[in-house]
């Protein structure tokens, strides 16, 4: 029987990341993209908004796909990090929700945007993706390599950091006896 996972996004990079992460542990996986909306702003700021967005995406995706055993949400945003150049890092969080109502979370690596990017986000209420499209000249950068791909000169891309966030969210499900969860 196939493990069916609903992902709360239409972003192909995030959908592929969920598939990649789950396939590292399970052979028969079917990943279905669902378009969802969340209550958070389009540019999440603060860990609370980022995590809330990931959870809402996971729950809404699970609610839209009746055959899914799991719903997955991935949300990226700016979080406050002391001692950084700008006071912020960008980090992705993944949430995995199941039919019993349990949610597991995981985060990916975080990185800083250039100071003028953060300044425009905070002062002009512009989304990071829009600024990075202008800076890089790459349209729809968030659906391609992501800003991280451009900033690292292609060494790390959005797919890779999204996979890592999903795997981190899978840890309690891969070790259910350690976390008081039922079998995956």
Q: What is the CATH number of the domain that holds 46?
A: 3.90.950.10
Q: How many domains does the chain have?
A: 1
Measured between alpha carbons, how far is 3 from 10 in angstroms, rounded to an integer? Answer: 20
Residue 89 falls within a domain, yes or no? yes
Measured between alpha carbons, how far is 59 from 99 in angstroms, rounded to an integer? Answer: 9
Per-residue pLDDT of the chain (184 residues; tens, 9 = 90+): 799 999 999 999 999 999 999 999 999 999 999 999 999 999 999 999 999 999 999 999 999 999 999 999 999 999 999 999 999 999 999 999 999 999 999 999 999 999 999 999 999 989 999 999 999 999 989 888 999 999 999 999 999 999 999 999 999 999 999 998 866 5
Residue 184 falls within a domain, yes or no? no
Distances in Å between the alpha carbon of 91 and those of 14, 148, 177? 14, 10, 29
Binding site residues, as ranges? Answer: 9-14, 67-68
DSSP one-letter string for 93-126: EEEEEETTS-EEEEEEEEEPPPHHHHHHHHHH--
Residue 171 falls within a domain, yes or no? yes
pTM for the whole structure? 0.95
Binding site residues for Mg(2+), as ranges? Answer: 67
Measured between alpha carbons, how far is 128 from 32 in angstroms, rounded to an integer? Answer: 27
Binding site residues for substrate, as ranges? Answer: 9-14, 67-68
Residue 8 falls within a domain, yes or no? yes
Measured between alpha carbons, how far is 55 from 105 in angstroms, rounded to an integer? Answer: 8
Residue 144 falls within a domain, yes or no? yes
């Amino acid at each position: 029987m196939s493990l069916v996972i609903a992902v709360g996004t239409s972003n192909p990079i995030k959908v592929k990341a969920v598939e990649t992460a789950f396939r590292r542990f399970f052979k028969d996986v079917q990943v279905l993209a669902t378009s969802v909306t969340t209550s958070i702003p389009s540019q999440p700021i603060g860990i609370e908004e980022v995590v809330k967005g990931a959870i809402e995406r996971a729950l809404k995706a699970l609610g839209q796909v009746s055959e899914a055993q799991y719903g997955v949400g991935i949300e990226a945003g700016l979080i406050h990090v002391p001692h950084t150049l700008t006071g912020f890092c960008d980090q992705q969080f993944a949430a995995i929700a199941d039919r019993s109502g349990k949610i597991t979370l995981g985060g990916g690596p975080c990185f800083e945007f250039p100071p003028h990017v953060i300044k425009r986000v905070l002062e002009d209420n512009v989304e990071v993706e829009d600024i990075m499209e202008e800076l890089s000249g790459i349209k729809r950068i968030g659906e391609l390599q992501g800003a991280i791909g451009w900033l690292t000169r292609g060494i790390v891309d959005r797919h890779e950091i999204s996979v890592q966030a999903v795997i981190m969210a899978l840890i309690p499900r891969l070790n259910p006896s350690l976390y008081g969860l039922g079998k995956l």
